[in-house]
Homo-oligomer: A and B are copies of this chain.
């Protein structure tokens, strides 16, 4: 008989750009999201969990010319007649689909929050994965800027509830309409000036990196960088460029003063003036609710990259210092952002539906909380009941049951019990606080040994041989005192 060819062993490897999350990485994120959900709920937002899979059509990710989806999404087609399906790449496009699908049943305005993974078919890099969490809240069907103000207030509350202290963050608000007004005043509002507007937007975004002079070059004739590469400019006159520069530095002490300065810059532009007026209303609403400029402020330098914003935009920045990879101090930076987008639902229904919302960068916010030491540590492992005699497994399981019934995390060692050293190595790997030992002698005498592994590790670092021999971290107690003694040690470790 011919030998059956064996299938080669598969590689035990997550696909490129994907990763797994273990233990505390999972529970800390879950707890943070739960706190956020609590705030969203209190604000009247309802949970929504939409399907992870959408038609490419609904996501709006079809490439018009090639009849297949944009490469930024993971997409597939079962057969030539079937719809192209794709994994959602954010939570906003699915919201537009869900709202359009259920618009007769959902309340309007519809306040919803959503938390879950999204997938991007992009080149992975350090810290950049193809699957990551988003956490969004949006209000659909409310044209009033009161909805935008509410999102900003909620964002501020959320940051404080998860553990970012007041003073360690700022929510900045701007308005795309003001920027559009600036473009109008600069004479680049027309349909034929889209390229110029794009250059101006990107130039504003680069202020941090290029400085004022660099931006001025990009607004005007263009800029040659250190390597000699030339970037085309927007072709604004010096006077026009000055308006843009003035816009970026229009921030003043108070919201009212900033608005006054912006008014000067967009004078004569209807849309620009409408934008300034909206900013003023937002500032007033927030002021009335007690959100001062220590929490939320108008800041014209906030632009937000996404093309679909049509009005107010906002961004939450953490202002405490961290060190960058080269050891230089810098602000932690942005952890959330959003704004008003009035056209997304229209794609489906033909009717304009105003909407506004915010998305929190879950991983960045978690990293910030980690740095600030604001995460409860979940790395404490279970109490490990060791196995001295494998025929007495029932005894050990009974101990574990008693501990668990008392609410104490505990387990019996389930590996091969032959080598006792392996059991203690296991307890070490599990980060166990305590090990329980009941050998034949102990059983006979009705006692157990309880090892305080945390104290033991401390003593091992510094103790002399004599001290160590005394085993001050090991206690012999009557079997009946198991739960009480374990609880006492756990409390002493806390």
Contact = CB atoms under 8 A, between A and B. Distances in A.
Interface string A24-54: 1111001000100100011110111111111
Contacts of A57: 10-11
Nearest to A422: B108
Given A76-B76, A407-B42, A51 B11 contact: no
A11 B131 contact: no
A397 B64 contact: no
Contact of A18 (B22, B51, B382): B51
B10 A50 contact: no
A201 interface: no
A47 B74 contact: no
A271 interface: no
A236 to B, nearest CB: 28
B10 A348 contact: yes
Interface string A11-23: 1111100111111
A42 B409 contact: yes
Interface residues of A, number: 104
B51 A15 contact: yes
A486 interface: no
A370 interface: no
Contacts of A410: 42-44
Given A288-B397, A289-B397, A414-B144, A404 B42 contact: yes
Interface in A59-107: 60, 62, 64, 74-76, 78, 83, 85, 87, 97-98, 100-102, 107
B26 A48 contact: yes
Interface string A387-410: 000100111011001001001111
A7 B404 contact: no
Q: Is the interface of A mostly helix, strand, loop or mixed?
A: mixed
B85 A15 contact: yes
Interface string A119-162: 10100000000110000000101111011011001000100000
Given A42-B409, A108-B426, A414-B144, A52 B12 contact: no
Contacts of A382: 43-44
Contacts of A11: 55, 57-58, 348
B150 A414 contact: yes
Contact of A147 (B55, B107, B414): B414
Copies of the chain in the assembly: 2
B53 A18 contact: yes
A131 B52 contact: yes
A109 B414 contact: yes
Contacts of A348: 9-12
A99 to B, nearest CB: 8
Contacts of A242: none
Given A11-B55, A109-B414, A50 B20 contact: yes
Interface in A407-439: 407-412, 414-416, 426, 429-430
A74 to B, nearest CB: 7
A14 B50 contact: yes
A101 to B, nearest CB: 4
Contact of A52 (B25, B52, B394, B404): B52
Determine which residue in A51, A109, A149, A430 has the highest number of CB atoms from chain B within 10 A of its CB, and name it. Answer: A51
6 contacts: A18-B51, A44-B409, A51-B131, A107-B430, A144-B393, A285-B394
Interface of A: 7, 9-15, 18-27, 30, 34, 37, 41-44, 46-55, 57-58, 60, 62, 64, 74-76, 78, 83, 85, 87, 97-98, 100-102, 107-109, 111, 117, 119, 121, 130-131, 139, 141-144, 146-147, 149-150, 153, 157, 284-285, 287-290, 347-350, 381-382, 390, 393-395, 397-398, 401, 404, 407-412, 414-416, 426, 429-430
Closest 6 pairs between A and B when the two form their complex, measured CB to CB? A44-B411, A12-B100, A76-B76, A288-B394, A26-B47, A44-B382
